[in-house]
A = this chain, B = another copy of it.
Amino acid sequence: MLSTLKQQVCDANRALETSGLVKLTWGNVSGIDRTSGLWCIKPSGIPYADLTPDHLVVLDLDGNITDHGSQLRPSSDTKTHLHLYQNFPTIGGITHTHSPYATAFAQAGRELPCLGTTHADHFFGTVPLARPLTPEEIEADYELHTGVSIVERFRELNLNPLETPAILLSHHAPFTWGKTPAAGLDNSTALEVCAQMAIHTLALNPSATTIPAHILNKHHSRKHGPDAYYGQKDCAK
């Protein structure tokens, strides 16, 4: 089970680079096995092309490193991932990137509005923006409080993490997630293209309106609802 997970997480990390979503080592993917409560994440600063499943750092849901064979430090964002796994029990994989268009919304301090069906197929409405952290939070534990601010924002807005599997962090960049590591990565791809489309849309029409609720509901339910007819029946998306 764990070796399958490690392979999936390794594959998704390597796909980060070939997808064009990240440059240098600006991103990481993790994945969790909910049965054992064990999860694994990319080590910090390792080039994607060099990554093998054995490089991954395995942790439990208390944040203890349980398998550290390769003696590599986990991603510097590990505590953010941990907090999301602890508080969003339905998610199975998390992806963090600094993809340029999504990061531009984060840097501009703007939520990503749902302007069309591309967005509606992946995110059920606006992708929210988490508040900036306070100096005290950064001093005490920056990465933990990054996770806290994400969960806080989802609770304020009463959002379901699997319906809106993404957030923008002020002055920082996006996090996405999904049922599996691969699904979380797909949501990073979707978020980046939706952000690109939104920037061009707003340039063409600064008062472009968000998609009407009946289209949003239709697109979301045809892909994710109980009577979904997008994709094949046995494809967990």
Contact = CB atoms under 8 A, between A and B. Distances in A.
Interface of A: 23-26, 43-46, 72-73, 76, 98, 100-101, 103-110, 115-118, 121, 132-133, 135, 138-139, 142, 171-173, 186, 189-190, 193, 196-205, 208-209, 211-212, 214-215, 218, 222, 229-233, 235, 237
A142 B107 CA distance: 37
B222 A76 contact: yes
Given A43-B232, A132-B212, 9 more contacts: A25-B231, A26-B118, A46-B232, A107-B198, A108-B201, A109-B205, A116-B172, A171-B212, A199-B200
A184 to B, nearest CB: 13
B104 A204 contact: yes
A228 B200 CA distance: 35
Contacts of A205: 108-110
Nearest to A143: B222
Given A117-B173, A118-B26, A215-B138, A104 B230 contact: no
Given A72-B232, A232-B43, A100 B196 contact: yes
Copies in the complex: 4
B24 A208 contact: no
Given A197-B103, A197-B107, A204 B204 contact: no
Contacts of A202: 204
B218 A142 contact: yes
A38 B100 CA distance: 38
A202 to B, nearest CB: 7
B100 A107 contact: no
Contact of A106 (B116, B186, B196): B116
B103 A73 contact: no
A71 to B, nearest CB: 9
Given A46-B232, A201-B107, A201-B108, A138 B214 contact: yes
Contacts of A218: 138, 142
Contacts of A26: 118, 121
A98 B57 CA distance: 37
